[in-house]
A and B are shown apart, each in its own frame.
Chain A
């Protein structure tokens, strides 16, 4: 084992290298590009026995990844934001091919307005595709997450593609110490790619991704895919036990922090949860029984496990770094579904924050905790909140004043 100081992007590239992927269809997009640059350097120098091909779009890239996995090789690819959306037709399509491969998504807010900074609306758009989703909060988790994702995707009971998600900038460009397994150790864990029935060969009739006529066969294949994704829940637990035995690190499908006696709980995805972790520490110092849950596995959604972990808590704040226009936070909705009708379920409050890389300050976490306590006293939660400070609004008004002045000047001339 070697320890290296790696960015999140490099950790993702190392994950692919350690998984001994055969094929990397690529396309650059900020903030993901460093992943393919690392892999290109390694393949160029012969340090990695893989073929990297730059396609002309993410749509083609995801097609090529699925087609290669369908032809019998282990494939890896990476994208971000607009790229994920550009390829979205194929995200859904290759999931239907039941081709196991891994795609890293470096989360970035979606246009419009255009931004390079992080939030989760991109990955949420892939929510219903059939891709498994593992969300990471540290660089170590990214490298390990790629290995785990291959095991999960390629498992005979699953056979679905997987996305490993990390936050742009906050993780993609942040260096952290990462323990890297030796290739032999990683290989022993990941194993050889078994294409099972997926391989085009001379004189062997194989039709992939055919049309069906009628809702009966269509529904059958769609249900099969859904059930396969659901089976990934129990398979994940097996894989995680083995991973811990081999590498000493444990990645439960839900990361629990200070949950043993927690009354007020934050629920978040991704690296911003590390901010919530700090807030939990401060709140605990001040005598609050605060805790944090972070689902690592978002697809399949660990509904039952979350229900159990939240049973008997007083109030829960779901902080979504995404926004479903006209509805609100996606994780909030999903958690509400998980908790609906459960006995002894906590109050559930919704917050939207961290869009387009916007920080969520410690003060905001404290304010949220305070609102949870008030909600608990009242017995009901307030309306969903869109986090925004007075200061931000003042700064925004200044920008608007400039825009309006420019506009007025143009109209006068």
Chain B
């Protein structure tokens, strides 16, 4: 894939004012995953082929409609990175054999949910990084198997109520550190992003456009239906995820991890948690002091480690 010259995103004014992705998609109102996809697609442009795994975004393209100007390939839940491998290799072969002009080349973008990225698709993703596949991977992480009604997944945070963790303490496990797992493969790039911080997201997309190799993005995707909140709160919840330090925005590049937006004064996690029905049991009928303190302590410990480095 020939790399385009970088755009420049310094201020919100620099952001694209119209969306490339067509309207009328069947995603839920307030979908945080779709917002990330919008920004990403606006910047990457039409010369893209999205290779999708089973998940919420599968319903973006339903015969005979597609919101994309470029390509779309639905594979399976586990093997989207392998689909990207086949497409990328084929494009390279066609370029090499001069059956495709450089102008006709496309960026291959895998798009999966957290169920795939943190679980079933991990082997195929690991393999794609092993092979240094030239592709972009976007994981929209809504912290559960959202498309099937928000059962807990390996990305579900501690204490969250899901359709399969309805007990009084919610999900007993802890969210897996996919960023660290991916970074351990030493790919070209790994970053966490969120649509509610569009400038940070845009800068990262801009950066990876000039790079080749595996470029891996994990977007926290606030999910009104799965997290149980009013869709109009998606952006606010996304911002609070960053401001409370629950969702650190960072990138891995050339062997270094760098935090791209460090909250100066972290807000208490309560502010993030209490807006979401999935954490309501931490506040009602009475405040779960210990439960909230544990979540706060984990966030604090993370940032202490960051600050000590």
Interface of A with B (CB < 8 Å)? 22-23, 25, 51, 53, 55-57, 59-61, 63-73, 75, 89-90, 93, 200-213, 217
Q: A60-B127, A207-B72 are in contact. Are A72 and B94 (CB under 8 A)?
A: yes
Inter-subunit contact A90/B62 (CB<8 Å)? no
- State how many angstroms separate the Cβ of A28 from the closest Cβ of chain B: 14
Inter-subunit contact B72/A210 (CB<8 Å)? yes
- State how many angstroms separate the Cβ of B21 from the closest Cβ of chain A: 12
Q: A53-B89, A61-B82, A67-B84 are in contact. Are A207 and B103 (CB under 8 A)?
A: no
Residues of B within 8 A of A201 (CB): 71, 100, 104, 106
Per-position contact with A for B11-50: 1 when CB-CB < 8 Å, else 0?
A: 0000000000000000000000000000000000011010
CB < 8 Å neighbour of A67 from B75, B78, B99: B75
Inter-subunit contact B127/A56 (CB<8 Å)? yes
What is the chain B residue whose CB lies nearest that of A206?
A: B71
CB < 8 Å neighbour of A203 from B70, B76, B85, B86: B70
What is the chain A residue whose CB lies nearest that of B78?
A: A59
B274 at the interface (CB under 8 A from A): no
For the complex of A and B, list the 3 residue pairs with the smallest distance between their C-beta atoms, beginning with the closest.
A67-B86, A60-B82, A56-B127
Inter-subunit contact B93/A63 (CB<8 Å)? no
Inter-subunit contact A211/B61 (CB<8 Å)? yes
Inter-subunit contact A70/B93 (CB<8 Å)? no
Docked CA distance A112–B304 (Å)? 52
Residues of A within 8 A of B46 (CB): 202-203
B124 at the interface (CB under 8 A from A): yes
Residues of A within 8 A of B79 (CB): 59-60, 63, 90
Docked CA distance A130–B81 (Å)? 24
What is the chain A residue whose CB lies nearest that of B105?
A: A202
Inter-subunit contact A208/B72 (CB<8 Å)? yes
Inter-subunit contact A68/B47 (CB<8 Å)? no
Inter-subunit contact A67/B85 (CB<8 Å)? yes
10 inter-chain pairs at a CB distance below 8 angstroms, sorted by A residue, are: A63-B76, A63-B82, A66-B86, A67-B85, A68-B87, A204-B70, A204-B71, A208-B71, A208-B73, A211-B59
Docked CA distance A67–B66 (Å)? 19
B9 at the interface (CB under 8 A from A): no
Which chain B residues (191-229) contact chain A, with CB distance < 8 Å?
none
Which chain B residues (98-137) contact chain A, with CB distance < 8 Å?
99-100, 103-106, 123-124, 126-127, 130-131
Residues of B within 8 A of A70 (CB): 73, 86-87, 90
Of the candidates B58, B83, B87, the one having the most CB atoms from chain A within 10 angstroms of its own CB is B83
Inter-subunit contact B87/A211 (CB<8 Å)? no
Inter-subunit contact B63/A63 (CB<8 Å)? no
Residues of A within 8 A of B126 (CB): 56
Docked CA distance A67–B70 (Å)? 16
B74 at the interface (CB under 8 A from A): yes
CB < 8 Å neighbour of B86 from A64, A202, A212: A64
What is the chain B residue whose CB lies nearest that of A66?
A: B86
Docked CA distance A63–B75 (Å)? 7
Inter-subunit contact A67/B82 (CB<8 Å)? yes
Contacts A25-B86, A60-B127, A208-B74 known; list 20 others, CB within 8 Å.
Answer: A57-B124, A59-B79, A61-B82, A64-B86, A65-B86, A68-B86, A68-B90, A70-B90, A90-B75, A200-B49, A200-B91, A201-B100, A202-B105, A204-B104, A205-B70, A206-B71, A208-B71, A208-B72, A211-B58, A211-B63
Inter-subunit contact B85/A64 (CB<8 Å)? yes
B152 at the interface (CB under 8 A from A): no
Chain A-chain B contacts (Cβ-Cβ < 8 Å), number: 166
Inter-subunit contact A71/B87 (CB<8 Å)? yes
- State how many angstroms separate the Cβ of A56 from the closest Cβ of chain B: 3
Residues of A within 8 A of B123 (CB): 56-57, 60
Inter-subunit contact B86/A56 (CB<8 Å)? no
What is the chain A residue whose CB lies nearest that of B124?
A: A60
Docked CA distance A412–B244 (Å)? 62
- State how many angstroms separate the Cβ of A119 from the closest Cβ of chain B: 28
B175 at the interface (CB under 8 A from A): no
Q: A23-B93, A57-B123, A200-B106 are in contact. Are A71 and B86 (CB under 8 A)?
A: yes
Inter-subunit contact A211/B62 (CB<8 Å)? yes
Docked CA distance A223–B199 (Å)? 48
Docked CA distance A111–B46 (Å)? 47
Q: A90-B79, A202-B47, A210-B74 are in contact. Are A68 and B89 (CB under 8 A)?
A: yes
B51 at the interface (CB under 8 A from A): yes
B68 at the interface (CB under 8 A from A): yes
Inter-subunit contact A56/B76 (CB<8 Å)? no
Residues of B within 8 A of A206 (CB): 70-72
Inter-subunit contact B106/A202 (CB<8 Å)? yes
What is the chain B residue whose CB lies nearest that of A211?
A: B62
What is the chain B residue whose CB lies nearest that of A221?
A: B63
Which chain B residues (227-252) contact chain A, with CB distance < 8 Å?
none
Which chain B residues (254-294) contact chain A, with CB distance < 8 Å?
none
Inter-subunit contact A55/B62 (CB<8 Å)? no
- State how many angstroms separate the Cβ of B126 from the closest Cβ of chain A: 7
Q: A64-B83, A207-B61 are in contact. Are A51 and B72 (CB under 8 A)?
A: no
Docked CA distance A210–B63 (Å)? 6
What is the chain B residue whose CB lies nearest that of A49?
A: B97
Docked CA distance A69–B91 (Å)? 11
Inter-subunit contact B74/A209 (CB<8 Å)? yes
Inter-subunit contact A93/B76 (CB<8 Å)? yes
B69 at the interface (CB under 8 A from A): yes
Residues of B within 8 A of A53 (CB): 85, 89, 131
Inter-subunit contact B62/A25 (CB<8 Å)? no
- State how many angstroms separate the Cβ of A23 from the closest Cβ of chain B: 6
Residues of B within 8 A of A23 (CB): 86, 89-90, 93
Inter-subunit contact A90/B90 (CB<8 Å)? no
- State how many angstroms separate the Cβ of A71 from the closest Cβ of chain B: 3
Residues of A within 8 A of B59 (CB): 211
Q: A60-B127, A210-B74, A213-B62 are in contact. Are A205 and B68 (CB under 8 A)?
A: yes
Docked CA distance A23–B62 (Å)? 30
Inter-subunit contact A202/B103 (CB<8 Å)? yes
What is the chain A residue whose CB lies nearest that of B64?
A: A210
What is the chain B residue whose CB lies nearest that of A207?
A: B72
Residues of A within 8 A of B90 (CB): 22-23, 67-73, 75
